[in-house]
Amino acid sequence: MTRLFYWVLGLLCCCGCFAERPLVGAIRWDAWYGNGSDVNGAVEATLSPQRWQWRAPFFAEVISTNQIRIRGGADEIRKEIDFAADAGLDYWAFCIYEKNDNLSRALQLYLDAPNRSRINFCMNLQGGHFGSGGLEKAMARVPLYVDYMQRPEYQTVLGGRPLVYLLFPANLTQPFALQSESKAAQLIRALRDQAQAAGLKNPYIVFQDFNARDVEQYRKKYGADAIGAYAANTGWHDCTYAKYRNYVEHTFWPSYQEAGPEFVPLAANGFDMRPRIQTGVPWDPSAQTYDMRMYHDQPTPEEFAVHLKSSLEYVKRHPKQVPANTVLLYAWNEFDEGGWLCPTLEKGTARLDAIRKVLKP
């Protein structure tokens, strides 16, 4: 009887583990926390036309029908933390740049925020930035990344492995970066080795790109654990969200599942970069050559909640292919590129209110 009791208890515990809700993270690209120069000034320009002002974050200031100011600070990051945590998000994946870059300001404010423990964070490295300047400079960035991983708020998976995303691994070997595949593999090994030397578990590294087969080749060459995507852009014109969602769930996800042994599904709340196409941005000179009809409709809050629920169910159905038990959302705050959950001037918390019903029923 005792042996049977413990067998049943163990079975129930095991089932409980599999029933645990997958972790849900959201990408942060923080051009909204600058001083009006560089990238911050560029995104103020893209959202300044009256047609696009409704997309701006809740802390934006409308100066006129053709001018908007977006300058986040400590108060704003504290509010964002509460918004995200109240909606049930587990972590933010911060796009990582140099520590003194304006694009890193929001991360530093988050790390200093008194309520930061309400939501975890992880790194979303950029291949070109990580490898920029050659191997010596790239190696010099690793200690900072290990410091981030040692923070108590850093998101882990699979029993304590620090979660690390890396966008565009192909850019590790650009002429301005490492220039060779062997150096790229050496850099990824160094990130693992230094993390473990600091007493951490082996990082779980997810390479990201738009094409599953391509990114799987880089995963194998450079030694990552899994593949995934930052966003999903079909290039279609005047695309409804229903059609877009069908593509993501029935074409995009299966392509990653089939390409590699492990992956992290992307839940996408849109892709509509028309503000950048109209105004232009310095980091993408080709943006203004795109057709203004190249966009996907924004989802209603309820539509995105249904998509998010589908992504969680997908993870539960494929535990071997998604062992990290997480979904990554595009995005928290890509306002001018076309994906966001962060409250906006016009729509407020509508999207967060909808996903709260999925994540915190």
User: What pLDDT does residue 5 have?
Assistant: 38
Average pLDDT of every residue of the chain: 95
Q: What does the pLDDT look like over 294-329, one tens digit per residue? A: 999 999 999 999 999 999 999 999 999 999 999 999
Residue 123, CA distances (Å) to 190, 270, 311 in order: 16, 22, 22
Q: Is 268 left (phi over 0), alpha (psi -120 to 50) or beta?
A: beta
pLDDT attached to residue 217 = 98
For residue 233, give Cα distances in angstroms to 127, 249, 322, 332: 19, 13, 22, 17
Look up residue 144 and give its two tokens: 């900072």
pLDDT tens track for 328-347: 999 999 999 999 999 999 99
- Chain centroid to Cα 238, Å, comes to 25
Using one digit for the tens of pLDDT, what is the confidence trace for 166-195?
999 999 999 999 999 999 999 999 999 999
pTM above 0.75, yes or no: yes
- Please write the tens of the pLDDT for every residue from 271-288: 999 999 999 999 999 999
Does residue 327 contact residue 93 with C-beta atoms inside 8 Å?
no
Cα–chain center distance at 257: 19
Nearest of 295, 304, 249 to residue 274 by alpha carbon: 295
Give pLDDT, residue 20.
Answer: 87
Question: What CATH number matches the domain at 22-31+72-359, 3.40.640.10, 3.20.20.80, 2.40.110.10, 3.30.70.360?
Answer: 3.20.20.80
Can you give the residue ranges of every domain in the chain?
Answer: 22-31+72-359
19 pLDDT tier (thresholds 50, 70, 90): low
In this predicted structure, the answer to whether residue 7 has a pLDDT above a threshold of 70 is: no
Largest CA distance in the chain: 76
pLDDT, tens digit (0-9, with 9 covering 90-100), for 102-126: 999 999 999 999 999 999 999 999 9
* Residues across the chain: 361
What is the identity of the amino acid at 253? W
Token reading at 338: 């076309």
